[in-house]
């Protein structure tokens, strides 16, 4: 046994026990145990953090139960601790609290004999040594220990402003205060901490650390399998039909992956969502009776010298905030254990605070939360009572399993109870998509939201987090709930989605929007639609008003790109030897590449209307640099998405080629989104193919 421990034994024998007030003693221990139980109750599922908490927590509580006091005196002369707790025990308690509950700083008074008051250096040396010994077997690394004490006699005599009365009684009335702060090496993605209080006990978490163990599942992200659209022969399949897509979730998820140094899995890359993440300067209709115009552009394909790139752009009319209809919103919040991570529930709370701040005073918001079960956190409340809404958001905490289906049911029920026939009625689901209690079958949930959209209540989905993100389920819910899907990876993305683009997120100007393109076999040999694989429709669905399609919000732009090979060019598919196609010879279509049809419904109608636009060579430019900046930038984004997916049709087109095209077409970029895209392409050049296992 070391000399230090021998000295500790002698000190324990010589020390007369400090007998605190029994009521204060019970209160302090109860506060510590209550806090520990609360933290364990929110332990994450899906990994072994909770199990480790329970095992180590038993040892931690045993220390508290065995000792008659939570305070100690330190002797400068022999470098040992007295007062009922050894240096090693205190180091063990402080270290384990930092490891399992976040690196908290405990602020409490310590009993120190006035005549034997230690110096700051003595305290630092002794405690640092103890921390080093007891952290040797842990994965966390103690990098710094900061000790401060009240040096003046006036400070000793004055009551401590941070020490609770309970601990002052345990100290026998001594007012001297010491602070021990353990700092760990920074970890990626951690968030600002907070002060926790239990019966006056204040625990201060440093600003850049979490306050509880976080959910760290990985490798369980789910995406719909995507097979890129094939090249089609115009003679065999001249018609292409699809639903518009205004979702942007894929781009944000790709950005989050690349910022973490990892290439996204290819099914996470939906090229149309990456293209539609950006705003384009398409003409806005002057008459609201026609919600959008079609803007057409044709240029040489950047990655294929034999083909051309057709860009179809539509942009909906925008509405002034003062003219926007009232909003009846239900915020459906996933508070399960899997949401216990810095990029999930904490980010979610702040995102919804931004949304609340952007709404009008007469709009209403309700909050439903779900974990193992679901329940109403906030009844429908007007935005004029903003403090009440923000307080309800602050009370949300994570823990338990995920009864997502029950949460959706209750959210729709609440929205129906306050339905506004002249306003916007929408449920906004915020989750990582990990439903594991109740109805979990995607098709059954799809059927539910399909039926509910007939009531006039739409469903939008906001995704959060990595490692356990169920994009497949969230896309299904949004597409069938007449809503949109976005992925929130940063607070700036929350601002973009819920504030800057609130009109397009909340206010629908056209629903069930479908596009159909018929190619002219006289001028086009083959074609392929870039993206929109999950939005394909049958040819007969175009005229069937019962078939659901995507909605367009106020001010939202939608872009679709086709790569096509002109007749007479080589192309990817050889001509047939024994069959001749029947070419059109009428002079009125000889100059057309294709014919565009757009079907849509007004928000309050169930009957579709039709827009028709012939696509001719008048929209074509001979050189890439002659095309508009919007067209070239959209082509750069499309090229990037295809290369990330493996580059099946892009040949030798490289990241450097994408960067060059994007830089030349960046144009006006007031919010830096296009500059950020260029940075992401640069990051992809050095990104890892697979994220390393977290230790």
- Cβ neighbours of residue 172 closer than 8 Å, sequence gap 6 or more: 18, 20, 111
SS3 394: helix
Give the position of tokens 């040949």. 651
Query: CA-to-CA distance for 354 and 200, rounded, in angstroms?
Result: 32
Note whether 222 and 53 are within 8 A (CB). no
Dump pLDDT digits (tens) for 125-161: 554 454 444 444 333 333 333 333 333 333 334 443 3
Q: What is the pLDDT of residue 152?
A: 36
DSSP 199: T
The model's pTM is 0.69
Instruction: Encode burial over 666-687: b for 16+ CB neighbours within 10 A, e otherwise.
Output: beeeeeeebeebbebbebbeeb
Helix (H, G, I), strand (E, B), or coil: what is residue 66? Answer: helix
Alpha helices (H) in 481-597, listed in sequence order? 491-495, 502-506
Consecutive H or E run containing 22: helix 22-41
Q: What pLDDT was estimated at residue 265?
A: 92
How, if at all, do strands 485-487 and 458-463 pair? parallel
CA 499/CA 491 separation, integer angstroms: 11
Query: How far are the Cα atoms of 79, 519, 627, 634 from residue 311, in angstroms, in the given order?
Result: 77, 14, 11, 8
| Tokens (6 digits) for 129 | 């040594």
The closest alpha carbon to 269, from 231, 309, 302, 228, belongs to: 228
Tokens of 496: 């973009």
Strand bridging mode 201-204 / 195-198: antiparallel
The pairing of strands 177-184 and 142-149 is antiparallel
Q: What is the Rg, in whole angstroms, of the alpha carbon atoms belonging to the chain?
A: 31
Report the C-alpha dihedral over residues 347, 390, 107, 94, rounded to 10 degrees: -40
| Domain definitions of the chain by residue range | 3-204, 234-249+281-319+509-571+585-657, 327-506
Phi, psi of 247 (to 5 degrees): -70, 155
> What span, in angstroms and rounded, lies between the C-alpha atoms of 644 and 415?
40
Angle at 336 between CA 264 and CA 498, to 5 degrees: 60
- CA distances 313 to 302, 427, 649, Å, are 19, 29, 22
- 3 state SS of 402: coil
H or E stretch covering 375: strand 374-382
From CA 263, how far away is CA 680, in angstroms rounded? 10
- The SS3 assignment for 94 reads helix
Whether the CB-CB separation of 477 and 412 falls below 8 Å is answered with no
Residue 82 CA to residue 111 CA, distance in Å, equals: 9
Q: What's the burial of 218, exposed, middle or buried (CB within 10 Å: 0-12/13-18/19+)?
A: middle
Coil/strand/helix, residue 511: strand
Question: Residues of the chain whose pLDDT is less than 70?
Answer: 1-5, 8-9, 11-26, 28-29, 32-219, 435-441, 576-589, 693-695
| Superfamily of 327-506 according to CATH | von Willebrand factor, type A domain (3.40.50.410)
pLDDT at 62: 43
CB 249 within 8 A of CB 487: yes
pLDDT of residue 115: 46
Phi, psi of 467, rounded to the nearest 5 degrees: 95, -30
Angle formed by the axes of helices 442-453 and 471-480, nearest 10° = 20
Pairwise CA distance, residues 543 & 228, whole Å? 25
| CB 448, CB 482: distance < 8 Å | no
**Tokens describing residue 388:** 């009440």
Token pair listed for 185: 């090496």
Question: Is the Cα torsion angle 639, 640, 642, 643 positive or negative in sign?
Answer: positive
Q: How far apart are CA 496 and CA 206, in angstroms?
A: 29
Q: How far apart are CA 180 and CA 104, in angstroms?
A: 10
Q: Which DSSP symbol is given to 262?
A: B
- For the chain, the distance separating the N- and C-terminal CA atoms, rounded to the nearest angstrom, is 33
676 is written with which tokens?
């950020």
Any alpha helices (H) in 520-572, and if so which ranges?
none
Task: Give 234-249+281-319+509-571+585-657's CATH code, choosing from 2.60.40.1230, 3.40.1440.60, 3.30.530.20, 3.40.190.10.
Answer: 2.60.40.1230
List the beta strands (DSSP E) in 67-215: 73-74, 81-82, 105-109, 142-149, 177-184, 195-198, 201-204
State both tokens at 643: 């290369």
Distance CA(125)–CA(147), nearest Å, equals 10
Q: What is the pLDDT of residue 214?
A: 54
pLDDT of the residue at 440: 62
State the DSSP string of 547-573. Answer: S--EEEETT-EEEEEEEEEETTS--SS
């Amino acid at each position: 046994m070391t000399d230090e421990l021998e000295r500790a034994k002698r000190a324990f024998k010589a020390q007369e026990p400090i007998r605190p007030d029994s009521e204060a003693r019970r209160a302090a221990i109860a506060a510590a145990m209550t806090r520990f139980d609360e933290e364990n109750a929110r332990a994450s599922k899906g990994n072994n953090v909770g199990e480790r908490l329970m095992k180590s927590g038993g040892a931690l509580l045993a220390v508290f139960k065995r000792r008659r006091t939570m305070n100690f005196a330190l002797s400068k002369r022999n470098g040992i601790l007295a007062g009922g707790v050894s240096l090693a025990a205190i180091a063990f308690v402080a270290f384990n609290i930092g490891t399992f509950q976040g690196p908290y700083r405990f602020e409490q008074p310590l009993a120190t004999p006035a005549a034997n008051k230690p110096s700051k250096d003595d305290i630092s040396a002794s405690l640092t040594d103890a921390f080093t010994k007891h952290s040797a077997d842990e994965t966390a690394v103690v990098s710094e220990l900061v000790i401060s004490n009240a040096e003046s006699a006036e400070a000793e005599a004055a009551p401590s402003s941070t020490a609770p009365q309970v601990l002052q009684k345990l100290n026998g009335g001594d007012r001297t205060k010491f602070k021990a702060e353990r700092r760990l090496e920074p970890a990626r993605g951690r968030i600002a901490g907070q002060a926790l209080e239990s019966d006056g006990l204040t625990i201060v978490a440093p600003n850049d650390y979490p306050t509880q163990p976080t959910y760290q599942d990985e490798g369980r992200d789910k995406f719909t399998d995507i097979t890129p659209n094939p090249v089609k022969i115009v003679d065999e399949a001249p018609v292409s039909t699809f639903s518009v897509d205004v979702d942007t979730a894929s781009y944000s998820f790709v950005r989050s992956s690349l910022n973490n140094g990892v290439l996204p899995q290819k099914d996470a890359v939906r090229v149309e969502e990456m293209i539609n993440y950006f705003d384009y300067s398409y003409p806005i209709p002057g008459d609201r009776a026609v919600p959008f115009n079609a803007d057409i552009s044709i240029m040489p394909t950047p990655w294929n010298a034999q083909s051309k790139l057709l860009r179809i752009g539509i942009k909906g009319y925008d509405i002034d905030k003062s003219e926007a209809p009232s909003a009846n919103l239900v915020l459906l919040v996933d508070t399960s254990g899997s949401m216990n991570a810095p990029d999930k529930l904490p980010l979610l709370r702040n995102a919804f605070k931004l949304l609340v701040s952007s709404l009008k005073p007469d709009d209403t918001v309700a909050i439903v939360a779900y974990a193992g079960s679901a329940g109403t956190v906030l009844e429908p409340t007007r935005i004029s009572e903003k403090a009440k809404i923000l307080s309800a958001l602050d009370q949300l905490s994570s823990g338990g399993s995920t009864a997502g289906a029950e949460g959706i049911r209750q959210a729709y029920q609440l929205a129906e109870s306050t339905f506004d026939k002249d306003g916007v009625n929408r449920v906004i689901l915020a989750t990582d998509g990990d439903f594991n209690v109740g109805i979990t079958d995607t098709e059954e949930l799809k059927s539910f939201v399909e039926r509910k959209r007939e009531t006039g209540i739409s469903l939008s989905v906001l995704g959060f987090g990595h490692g356990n993100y169920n994009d497949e389920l969230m896309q299904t819910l949004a597409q069938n709930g007449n809503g949109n899907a976005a992925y929130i990876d940063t607070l700036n993305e929350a601002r973009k989605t819920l504030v800057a683009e609130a009109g397009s997120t909340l206010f629908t100007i056209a629903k069930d929007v479908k596009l159909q393109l018929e190619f002219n076999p006289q001028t086009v040999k083959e074609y392929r639609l870039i993206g929109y694989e999950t939005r394909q429709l049958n040819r007969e669905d175009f005229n069937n008003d019962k078939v659901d399609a995507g909605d367009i919000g106020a001010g939202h732009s939608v872009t679709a790109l086709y790569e096509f090979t002109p007749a007479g060019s080589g192309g990817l598919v050889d001509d047939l030897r024994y069959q001749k196609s029947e070419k059109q010879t009428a002079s009125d279509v000889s100059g057309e590449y294709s014919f565009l049809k757009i079907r849509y419904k007004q928000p309050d109608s169930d009957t579709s209307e039709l827009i028709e636009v012939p696509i001719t060579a008048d929209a074509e430019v001979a050189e890439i640099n002659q095309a508009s900046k919007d067209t070239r930038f959209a082509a750069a984004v499309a090229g990037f998405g295809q290369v990330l997916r493996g580059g099946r049709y892009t040949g030798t087109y490289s990241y450097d080629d994408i960067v060059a095209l994007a830089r030349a077409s960046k144009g006006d970029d007031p919010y830096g989104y296009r500059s950020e895209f260029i940075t992401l392409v640069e990051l992809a050049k050095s990104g890892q193919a697979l994220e390393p296992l977290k230790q």
